[in-house]
Amino acid sequence: MKKLLFLALAVSLSVQPTYAQQTQTLPKEAPKLKLSEPLPANLFVELAKAINPAVVNISTTALPKNMPRGRDPMLDMLEQLYGFRMPPQQQQQRPQQIGLGTGFVIREDGLIVTNNHVIAGADIINVQLSEKSKDVYEATLIGSDERTDIALIKITPKEKLPVAVLGSSKDLEVGEWVAAFGNPFGHGHSMTKGIVSSKGRDITEINKIPLIQTDASINPGNSGGPLVNTKGQVVGVNSAIDARAQGIGFAIPIDEVKSVISILETKGRIARGYIGAALGDLDQDAAEYLGLGDVRGAVVTNMDPKGPAAKAGFKIYDIVTEFNGKTINGSLDLIDAVSDAPIGKPAKAKILRNGKAINVSVNVAERADDKPRVVRAAQKTYQGQKAPFNLGFTIVDPTPELRAEWGLPDDMKQPVVIETERSSQASKSGLRVGDVVLDVNKKPVDNSKDVLKNLKKGQNTLRIARNTRIQIINIEAN
Query: pLDDT tens digit string along 435-450?
Result: 889 889 988 888 899 9
pLDDT value at position 241?
67
pLDDT value at position 341?
85
Strands, E, within 215-256: which ranges?
A: 226-229, 233-241, 249-253
Report how far apart, in Å, the C-alpha atoms of 455 and of each of 57, 231, 291, 476 are.
57, 69, 21, 10
Catalytic (active site) residue 187: no
pLDDT tens digits for 259-271? 889 889 888 888 7
pLDDT tens digits for 33-57? 677 777 888 889 999 999 999 999 9
- 165-253 folds as Thrombin, subunit H (2.40.10)
Region for residue 390 given its phi and psi (left: phi exceeds 0; alpha: psi -120 to 50; beta: otherwise): left
User: What is the mean predicted confidence (pLDDT) over 339-357?
Assistant: 87
pLDDT value at position 425?
85
pLDDT value at position 66?
44
Task: Decide the pairing of beta strands 150-154 and 136-145.
Answer: antiparallel
Same fold, 165-253 and 273-366: no
C-alpha 150/C-alpha 254 separation (Å) is: 11
C-alpha 154/C-alpha 105 separation (Å) is: 9
Q: Which of 59, 144, 197, 223 is catalytic?
A: 223
Catalytic (active site) residue 117: yes
Contact 149, 207 (CB under 8 A): yes
Mean pLDDT of the chain: 79
Q: What is the CA radius of gyration of the chain?
A: 30
Coil, helix or strand at residue 320: strand
pLDDT tens digits for 103-112? 999 999 999 9
pLDDT greater than 60 at residue 318: yes
| CATH 2.30.42.10, domain 385-477, yes or no | yes
C-alpha 109/C-alpha 150 separation (Å) is: 19
Report how far apart, in Å, the C-alpha atoms of 125 and of each of 142, 177, 302, 353, 420 are.
12, 33, 32, 45, 41
C-alpha 336/C-alpha 323 separation (Å) is: 10
* 285 vs 306, more confident: 306
If we measure between CA atoms, which residue out of 50, 41, 55 comes closest to residue 190? 55
If we measure between CA atoms, which residue out of 298, 422, 291, 310 comes closest to residue 365? 310
pLDDT greater than 50 at residue 379: no
If we measure between CA atoms, which residue out of 446, 291, 439 comes closest to residue 355? 291
Coil, helix or strand at residue 247: coil
User: What is the mean predicted confidence (pLDDT) over 385-394?
Assistant: 89
Q: What share of the chain is helix, strand, coil (3-state, %, to 5)?
A: 20, 35, 45
Catalytic (active site) residue 429: no
Domain ranges, ordered by start, for the chain: 165-253, 273-366, 385-477
Burial of residue 205, with CB atoms counted within 10 A of its CB: 0-12 exposed, 13-18 middle, 19 or more buried:
exposed
pLDDT tier, 434 (very low <50, low <70, confident <90, very high otherwise): confident
The residues, any chain, with a CB within 8 Å of residue 292's CB and separated by 6 or more, are: 282, 319, 352
Q: Which of 117, 197, 281, 304 is catalytic?
A: 117
Q: Which of 59, 144, 145, 149 is catalytic?
A: 149
Q: Which of 1-10, 123-132, 229-238, 462-471 has the lowest mean pLDDT?
A: 1-10
Q: Which of 7-11, 27-31, 424-428 has the lowest mean pLDDT?
A: 7-11
Element (H, E) at 150: strand 150-154
pLDDT greater than 50 at residue 371: no
Domain 273-366 sits in CATH at: 2.30.42.10
pLDDT value at position 16?
55
